[in-house]
Amino acid sequence: MLALRSMLVVGGGDVEGLARATHSAADAVVIDLASPSLHLERARVRTEVARAIEAIGAAGRVAVARVASAISGELELDLEASVGPHLAAVMLGGAEAPQDARDADVALRKFEVRHAMTPGAVRLIPEVDSATGLQALPGILDAVDRHAAVALNAARLHEDLGLGHDVQHAHDHAMAQVAIAARAAELPWVLASFDGDRGLVPATRAHEFGAVGVAVRSDAAARGMNSLFAPEPAAVATARAVVARWELMHGRGELVAVTEGGNAGEPVLVDRRTVRRARMLLARAEAIAARERVRD
């Protein structure tokens, strides 16, 4: 699992920003190749991206490339410029159908083979930014086994729905749908806007809906989000107790039990469902701990 409490977004053409990103406090650096502003200079930008990904990865940071949608005609070239041993994941812009994930998976596999990488080494993060994508999300997540997380682009979804102001309930509904689909697929989800979030969804609101992180534009914001989205130590301790109890139960052939460690010392049910949740939380906590061990 990737640590994604904060994802520092840097434009693919921002040479200075990409250089600074090698020292970022963010959990991940998202290099944006899919911005409409780069459309006329994509060829130049792609030449910079490979070097930037290598530098960011070599500095111990998680490098993520946000690439064009599967129907744009630009996906293969974006991946050719991005995929290599230092790329952790690809964020697929405008995912709207299961076939989009399949196309990205096939293309990624081709470039992984070219670089002598283990198939599946580069993870996939579908970006949902439309009603069509939101409706198709469960199928998108079922389509391939390369997914690392789900990204909700609230600003683009807001535009797609033609919403006005004061419609927080619509954003809440979208976050709930993403949270449900992600949980069913045993994946985390993140709030990630790339054209300015315009304050549509506060990070604290996304946190309440179970998001594990958000996109940011500065290191100061990254530090704040790292704190907000850090798992509670008590929850991590409970998860460890649940998993330990489950492993003991497994040897005895038991299916359900309880263990201590809940709020105010209350007993916690231990079964397949709670163990799945506990293991996801522990994997997230371990990824964050590994990220925080990286120092300049």
Amino acid, res. 92:
L
For 51, phi and psi rounded to 5 degrees?
-65, -40
Cα–Cα distance between 52 and 74 in angstroms, integer? 19
pLDDT of residue 111 exceeding 60, the answer is: yes
d(CA 139, CA 99): 9
32 Cβ neighbours under 8 A, 6+ residues apart: 9, 10, 11, 12, 38, 66, 194
Confidence (pLDDT) at 38: 67
* pLDDT (tens digit per residue) in 230-264: 999 989 998 998 898 888 877 777 777 777 665 55
pLDDT class of 37 with cuts at 50, 70, 90: low
Is 265 a residue whose pLDDT tops 70?
no
As a three-state string, the secondary structure of 261-291 is CCHHHCCEEECHHHHHHHHHHHHHHHHHHHH
pTM assigned to the model: 0.91
CA-based nearest residue to 62, from 283, 292, 251, 273 = 292
Q: Residues of CATH 3.20.20.60 domain(s) within the chain? A: 6-228
Topology (CATH) of 6-228:
TIM Barrel (3.20.20)
